[in-house]
Amino acid sequence: MRTTKRIKKLLSLIFVFLFLFLNTGTLLSGATDLTDSEQDKINDYKTQQEELRKQISENKEKMDALKDDIAQQEEYVNTLQAQINAYQAQIDVLNENIAFLESQKDAIQAQIDELAVQIEEIHTQINHNELEQIALQQEIDDIFTELKDRLCDIYVYGKTSELELLLNSTDFQSFLITMELSSNIAAHDNEIISGLKEKIAQIDELNAEHIRLIEEIEAKQAEHQQQIDALSAKQDDIRESRAVLEQSQGEIEALESEASAYLRELDEQSAAYKALIAQYEASIKAFDSKIDSIIEEARKRNQPISFTPSGGLICPLQYSGAYISSGYGYRTGTGTAYSNFHGGLDICVYGGTYGKNISAAANGTVLTAAHMGTGYGNYILLDHGNGLYTLYGHNSQLLVSTGDTVYQGQTIAYAGESGYAFGAHCHFEVRVNGSKVNPLNYISVP
């Protein structure tokens, strides 16, 4: 029966990976106007995916050959672990690809925002230009009306000669004054005409600038639309990559369940049992190192200080039937199948834990939300500031993403048994400045 179940699971994996790798090219080819380095990175993702596909295929063939041979249990366990590691490597590559696509998406969004500002500035310039043209045109119309009136006067009264001015003058002094006034009137007319020419030249310049601004805004709007289309394509790539990632996580969880079930059937004294336990413990240590690195990077960005909780944290399982199934500290295998230091609390709920809401213990930022094979499964690491971090493991589903802001009591995941877990529970850790501490110093279980 166990063999039949394994065969069914492995056959399902084949179909999944056929789907996964037939679509890999599509997922990684959606970028537009890529630089050489960006294209090289995408090609590198493709190469890694192809290598992993071959490795998974080879592992599958080896597992088929080993699964029915009890004498080769240890080698089967090793191959099973190698297959889980290959899945995890694939998930890591997909996460890197998604992060790369997200960075491209953010860059495109920044360009869209900048173009929107530029377009708005051009609109403002166009409006200002139009107002200037209206004011200038009014001035030209007023001057033109004044000149028309002067021409009418000249036409009606005719041109006055110097002789007429002399004969009509009472004396020579009045003649000179009359001549000077006539000259001033003519100079004023010339000045009006000169000003009119200048204003006509100005309005021509404004018209030319208006045309230039219209052409510029049309070009900016076309570029803006191109960037919006590119952003939409990137978002499609990200959605497809996340869909494949979730499928991969489902398959790795199926393998982890198989490994856990297989572990229960093995003799605790067998080499296969000890090998599997050793692999799990090595995986947990590797995971701890990874978490240490993530926290260290966060500490470099935000210098930590000693944290003293005021009001305390809250239990991640806010249910009246919550209880601790495994405490903080050293433990020996009463159902845990191993003996080591447990750096957190395993919290369950009477009546069934699977699918229960996992709440954020305090306000904070999601440092990472991902899947860790053969360890804590789907996990979340929160940064609460001042050197305080909390970790939530073995979730069935994550509801937040890296970089999200969360609030105390917010549901961030659903409880499960992903990773190395015998039954659904929440593995909850509290770390202060990177070091694990007893969560019971910070929370009380309802």
**How confident is the model at residue 104, as a pLDDT?**
84
Res 245 pLDDT > 90: no
HEC secondary structure over the chain: CHHHHHHHHHHHHHHHHHHHHHCHHHHHCCCCCCCHHHHHHHHHHHHHHHHHHHHHHHHHHHHHHHCCCHHHHHHHHHHHHHHHHHHHHHHHHHHHHHHHHHHHHHHHHHHHHHHHHHHHHHHHHHHHHHHHHHHHHHHHHHHHHHHHHHHHHHHHHCCCCHHHHHHHCCCHHHHHHHHHHHHHHHHHHHHHHHHHHHHHHHHHHHHHHHHHHHHHHHHHHHHHHHHHHHHHHHHHHHHHHHHHHHHHHHHHHHHHHHHHHHHHHCCCCCHHHHHHHHHHHHHHHHHHHHHHHHHHHHHHHCCCCCCCCCCCCCCCCCCCCEEEEECCEEECCCCCCCCEEECCEEEEECCCCCCCEEECCCCEEEEEEEEECCCCEEEEEEEEECCEEEEEEEEEEECCCCCCEECCCCEEEEEECCCCCCCCEEEEEEEECCEEECHHHCCCCC
Where does the pLDDT of residue 413 fall: very low under 50, low under 70, confident under 90, or very high at 90 and above? very high
**How confident is the model at residue 17, as a pLDDT?**
41
**How confident is the model at residue 379, as a pLDDT?**
92
What is the average pLDDT across 375-398? 90
**How confident is the model at residue 268, as a pLDDT?**
67
**How confident is the model at residue 399, as a pLDDT?**
93
Picking from 107-116, 245-254, 375-384, 416-425, which range would have the lowest pLDDT averaged per residue? 245-254
**How confident is the model at residue 69, as a pLDDT?**
61
Picking from 141-150, 245-254, 306-315, which range would have the lowest pLDDT averaged per residue? 306-315
**How confident is the model at residue 167, as a pLDDT?**
54
The model scores a pTM over 0.85: no
| pLDDT single digits (tens) 264-312 | 667 666 776 677 677 777 777 777 888 888 888 877 776 544 444 445 7
Res 129 pLDDT > 80: yes
Percent of the chain with pLDDT over 90: 16
Which of 112-116, 327-331, 374-378, 409-413 has maximum average pLDDT?
409-413
What is the average pLDDT across 41-46? 70
**How confident is the model at residue 336, as a pLDDT?**
45
**How confident is the model at residue 317, as a pLDDT?**
95
Where does the pLDDT of residue 431 fall: very low under 50, low under 70, confident under 90, or very high at 90 and above? very high
**How confident is the model at residue 184, as a pLDDT?**
56
Res 414 pLDDT > 90: yes
**How confident is the model at residue 346, as a pLDDT?**
93
Q: Which residue has the higher pLDDT, 354 or 89?
A: 354
What is the average pLDDT across 3-9? 42
**How confident is the model at residue 206, as a pLDDT?**
83
Q: Which residue has the higher pLDDT, 33 or 314?
A: 314
Where does the pLDDT of residue 151 fall: very low under 50, low under 70, confident under 90, or very high at 90 and above? low
Domains, the chain, ranges and CATH?
1-153+182-265 (no CATH), 277-446 (2.70.70.10)
What is the average pLDDT across 50-73? 66
Q: Which residue has the higher pLDDT, 155 or 444?
A: 444
C-alpha triplet 382, 388, 393: angle, nearest 5°: 40
Res 233 pLDDT > 90: no
**How confident is the model at residue 406, as a pLDDT?**
93
Res 142 pLDDT > 50: yes
